[in-house]
Structure 1
Amino acid sequence: MPPFLAYEDKGPGTPATYGRVPLVLVHGHPFDRTMWHPQLTEFSAGRRVIAPDLRGYGASPVTPGTVPLSRHAEDIAELLDHLGVDGFVLAGLSMGGQIAMECCARFGDRVRGLVLADTFPDPETPEGRVGRTAMADRLLAEGMRGYADEVLEKMVAPYADPDVRAHVHRMMTATPPEGAAAALRGRAERPDYRALLTRVRVPALVVVGADDTYTPVSDAEAMHAALPDSSLHVVEGAAHLPNLERPEEFNRALAGFLARLDG
């Protein structure tokens, strides 16, 4: 039976990859797996790299209504089962980071290393729940373009490369409104992951753009303090998507982390 999610599975199946832990990349909202293009290109030369489109995004099917983070985590587990991947490094950005935390809660024994980029572990506030629900209704009524125009300069810094800005805007406007709305409703119900972070026993890397206003450096510092074995990397000259805005620096930090985990 084919997997539910669309995905990229790249990397040479040669002895050169032996001892190198597979890397799984989980995108944020409202993006798709092309968000990880610089990392897929860089790291698939020497290891297996898997990047799914989450349910409701990219080329994956849409489930209307509400899709909780737990459903996204189950989708990832089912995909990795289908691909025969047992242990892996799990990297998630923004909502993808919260999904990665949910994965740790559900099948943390399979996670060999954790990368949390531009995300935070706190539960939704009552005000945030109202706001996300209202935004879900708006996206269903109006589509994605107005929202994409409004938030573009928070997703990437105003000084970001024009090609990066265009790519980010293109991902947002291509996202099905029904998929984005369902994920927003599910994210509004998310649990508190702060205690979970204190129980993560594998190495972790926390990355954040210095100019991120959605998840500021203080959020990253709090996660770094909570995780028992973590390093923190602040990417200067980037906002919410440092993997796209400053890919060389992001990749250097990730490469150093992966080298520590490889056989």
Structure 2
Amino acid sequence: MATLLCIHGSGHTADSFKPQTDALPSCRALVLPGHPHGEALSSVAAYTEWLEVVCKLPESTRPVIAGNSLGGAIAMAYALSRPERVGGLILIGTGARLKVSAAILTMLVQEWPQCIDTLVDYSLAPQADAALRGRIKSWHEAVGQESTRRDYEACDKFDIMEEVAHIRVPTLIIVGGDDRMTPPKYARFLAARIPNAQLEVVEAAGHMPHAERPETVNRLINGFVGQIEAA
């Protein structure tokens, strides 16, 4: 199987992709700076440069890069700047623009404990189990207020609405049918503009279908990577 690199979302840790690293061969979950160790970066562009350095990929290696939310933004930016280094993209609960509500940005500064609960609630479909809610809360607590704030501010500044059509690598777009952070219309926009992109809507899932419905998402990932390897 091709190398699969997974990039987590805002305020999360690499544990977000544990259902994938446990089940899929050659899958590696990256840890963004400050999540929880080190200092978080302040823009998608900075994270893209970090990705180039940390991966240290041989020129012959073209991984499939999967990203959730902020991670998807980083993956798209990397594919736009270094298309020759990317074998494919898997975009999970993300968008070409990731505007954050003013209320959330304020809560991130002024009401951190309450903000964690709000972020967890908005990340998941209503039927998500308590164990997953607890895991996500623990990620935010471990990552902390400052890194999470920087993540959401980086998302708020991210906008490749005009550039996204220039992505030229095979792309699978996955969105939860109940995603309230990056609703399915965000995924449809990406699918309409990225040439030959595939769109999959995972029902009964919110912003984190890879954690909420891992068996479904793993099946989609396996099928997509298989297509790339067979091409």
Over 3 Å counting, the alpha-carbon distance change for 1:162 and 1:129 in structure 2 is closer
Distance 2:203 2:150 in 1: 33
Deviation at 1:244, TM superposition (A): 0.7
Distance 1:92 1:259 in 2: 18
Contact 2:83 2:168 in 1 (8 A): no
> In the alignment, does 2:50 pair up with 1:75?
yes
SS for the counterpart of 2:180 is coil
Aligned position for 1:11: none
Contact 2:98 2:155 in 1 (8 A): no
Structure label with greater radius of gyration:
1
Distance 2:186 2:27 in 1: 27
Return the TM-score normalized by structure 2. Answer: 0.91
> In the alignment, does 2:221 pair up with 1:254?
yes
Deviation at 1:55, TM superposition (A): 1.6
Aligned position for 1:51: 29
Contact 1:123 1:193 in 2 (8 A): no
SS for the counterpart of 1:188 is helix
Over 3 Å counting, the alpha-carbon distance change for 1:75 and 1:135 in structure 2 is farther
Distance 1:53 1:151 in 2: 20
> In the alignment, does 2:18 pair up with 1:41?
no
Residue by residue over 1:139-198, the C-alpha shift from the partner in whole angstroms, topping out at 9 and shown as x without a partner, is: xxx54x3211123221112211222122112112221222112223333322x3123321
SS for the counterpart of 2:34 is coil
Over 3 Å counting, the alpha-carbon distance change for 1:123 and 1:239 in structure 2 is closer
> In the alignment, does 2:195 pair up with 1:228?
yes
Structure 2 counterpart of 1:39, one-letter code: Q
User: Equivalent residues in 2 for 1:49-198 (5 A)?
Assistant: 49-58=27-36, 60-63=37-40, 67-81=42-56, 84=58, 86-122=61-97, 124=99, 128=100, 130=102, 133-138=105-110, 142-143=111-112, 145-190=113-158, 192-198=159-165
> In the alignment, does 2:37 pair up with 1:21?
no
Deviation at 1:123, TM superposition (A): 6.2
SS for the counterpart of 2:33 is coil
Distance 2:77 2:62 in 1: 16
Over 3 Å counting, the alpha-carbon distance change for 1:123 and 1:33 in structure 2 is closer
User: Equivalent residues in 2 for 1:209-220 (5 A)?
Assistant: 209-220=176-187
**Percent identity at matched positions?**
28
Deviation at 1:134, TM superposition (A): 2.9
Unpaired runs of 5+ residues, structure 1, are: 1-19
Distance 2:18 2:135 in 1: 11
Contact 1:24 1:88 in 2 (8 A): yes
Deviation at 1:132, TM superposition (A): 6.0
Distance 1:113 1:175 in 2: 29
SS for the counterpart of 1:157 is coil
Return the TM-score normalized by structure 1. Answer: 0.80
Deviation at 1:88, TM superposition (A): 0.6
Q: Name segments (4+ residues, structure 1) moved above 4 Å.
A: 128-133
**How many residues are aligned here?**
229
Contact 1:224 1:232 in 2 (8 A): yes
SS for the counterpart of 1:194 is coil
Distance 1:225 1:137 in 2: 36
Unpaired runs of 5+ residues, structure 2, are: none
SS for the counterpart of 1:195 is coil
Superposition RMSD on alpha carbons, in Å?
2.0
